[in-house]
């Protein structure tokens, strides 16, 4: 299998660090023209990329108006998108407000709306041929793994959104799927801090809960995303694929 995205225009939201950056870099290596996106101008990781094959556009995609402005700017300056990766998400929650209106509202804004704001407008800004969208979800949308209730609810909502919007999007020849990663470690990740605080506890958790007994890497998620964007997954839409080293059960 030889996945290529030569001359394809791809937007990756939330892509200047972590999993999003790795996805963008991988798509560049596969020949795509990638539009990186973030709320800030912190472009430290982008400096070593080939400048003629990517752009960075600042926008807060949790805001509906900003999202539409971003898509309009892309269409005006670069043309119609071939693919979109909705990566923006955040598990940090309000303290001591488990399940509160404030927590759930915040988690929806951070983990559901950044995808729906882009996807709802996507038919007007994507090529009407073999288009595909991939959202980054979480295994917390499938099982209660002890994360903040609002986060788990928001990711479950994202999974259902992907499932329910698929038929509508295919009227425009656009497929949509999602990836639900398990425990992924990278520089600046929450797991990096947890290992510093109590490495033995983390290693015991992996041994007990994860069949492969290890963390996943951003590269492994990125490769799965590339597969779902590509024509190699052309018979799949409306699905969320778990990539967690065998952690979740009964799914």
pLDDT of residue 94: 65
With a CB cutoff of 8 Å and minimum separation 6, the contacts of 29 are none
Is residue 110 in a domain? yes
Helices (H), 129-189: 149-170
Question: In what order do the strands lie in the sheet containing 83-86?
Answer: 54-58, 33-38, 9-12, 83-86, 131-136, 174-181, 239-243
- 198 in a domain, yes or no? no
Residue 98 within a domain: yes
Q: What is the pLDDT of residue 143?
A: 92
pLDDT at 221 over 80: yes
Look at residue 34 and tell me if it is in a domain.
yes
**pLDDT on residue 203:** 94
Q: Does 26 score more than 80 pLDDT?
A: yes
Instruction: Report the C-alpha gap between 15 and 247 in whole angstroms.
Output: 26
Q: Is residue 209 part of a domain?
A: no
Q: Please say if the pLDDT value at position 174 is more than 70.
A: yes
pLDDT at position 72 is 98
Measure the CA–CA gap between 101 and 118, rounded to whole angstroms. Answer: 24
**Pick from 136, 131, 123: which is nearest to 230 by CA?**
131
Distance, in Å, from the CA atom of 137 to the CA atom of 116, rounded to the nearest integer, reads 13
DSSP states of 178-212: EEEE-SB--TT-HHHHHHHHHHHHHHHHHHHH-TT
> What share of the chain in percent tops pLDDT 90?
79
Per-residue pLDDT, 182: 95
130 sits in the region (left: phi over 0; alpha: psi -120 to 50; else beta) called left
Q: Which two tokens stand for residue 40?
A: 């800030």
Helix pair angle (218-229, 18-29), 10° resolution: 50
Q: Smallest Cα–Cα separation from 179: which of 164, 159, 193? A: 159
Asked if residue 76 is part of any domain, the answer here is yes
How many domains would you assign to the chain? 1
10: β partners: 34, 83
Evaluate whether residue 1 is within a structural domain.
no
How much is the pTM?
A: 0.94
Q: What is the pLDDT of residues 41-80, one digit of tens each?
A: 767 778 878 667 789 999 999 999 999 999 999 999 999 9
Tell me the C-alpha distance between 192 and 199, whole Å: 9
Residue 127 lies in a domain: yes
> Is residue 204 pLDDT above 80, yes or no?
yes
Triad 234, 180, 92: Cα angle to 5°: 145
Ramachandran bin of 55, using left for φ above 0, alpha for ψ from -120 to 50, beta for the remaining angles: beta
pLDDT tens digits for 95-153? 667 789 999 999 999 999 999 999 999 999 999 888 999 999 999 999 998 888 999 99
What pLDDT does 98 receive?
Answer: 78
Supply the CATH number for residue 30's domain.
3.40.50.720
- 211 CB burial (10 A radius; 0-12, 13-18, 19+): exposed
- Burial pattern 73-107, b for ≥16 Cβ within 10 A else e, equals ebeeeeeebbbbbbbbbebebeeeeeeeeebbebb
Mean pLDDT of the chain: 93
Domain extent, residue 153, equals 9-189+217-243
Q: How confident is the model at residue 20 (pLDDT cuts 50, 70, 90)?
A: very high
pLDDT at 45: 79
């Amino acid at each position: 299998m030889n996945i290529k995205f030569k001359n394809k225009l791809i937007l990756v939201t939330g892509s200047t660090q972590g999993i999003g950056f790795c996805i963008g870099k991988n798509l560049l290596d596969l020949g795509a023209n990638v539009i990186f996106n973030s709320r800030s101008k912190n472009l430290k990781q982008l400096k070593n990329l080939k400048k003629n094959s990517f752009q960075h556009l600042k926008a807060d995609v949790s805001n509906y108006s900003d999202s539409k402005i971003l898509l309009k700017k892309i269409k005006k300056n670069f043309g119609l998108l071939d693919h979109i990766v909705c990566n923006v998400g955040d598990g940090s929650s309000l303290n001591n407000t488990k399940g509160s209106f404030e927590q759930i509202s915040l988690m929806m804004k951070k983990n559901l709306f950044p995808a729906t704001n882009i996807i709802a407008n996507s038919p007007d800004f994507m090529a009407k041929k073999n288009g595909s969208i991939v959202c980054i979800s979480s295994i917390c949308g499938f099982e209660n793994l002890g994360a903040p209730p609002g986060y788990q609810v928001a990711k479950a909502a994202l999974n259902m959104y992907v499932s329910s919007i698929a038929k509508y999007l295919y009227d425009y020849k656009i497929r949509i799927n999602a990836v639900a990663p398990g425990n992924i470690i990278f520089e600046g990740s929450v797991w990096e801090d947890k290992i510093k605080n109590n490495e033995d506890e983390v290693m015991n958790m992996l041994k007990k809960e994860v069949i492969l007994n290890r963390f996943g890497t951003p590269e492994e998620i990125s490769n799965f995303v590339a597969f779902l964007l590509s024509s190699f997954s052309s018979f799949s839409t409306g699905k969320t694929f778990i990539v967690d080293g065998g952690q979740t059960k009964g799914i």
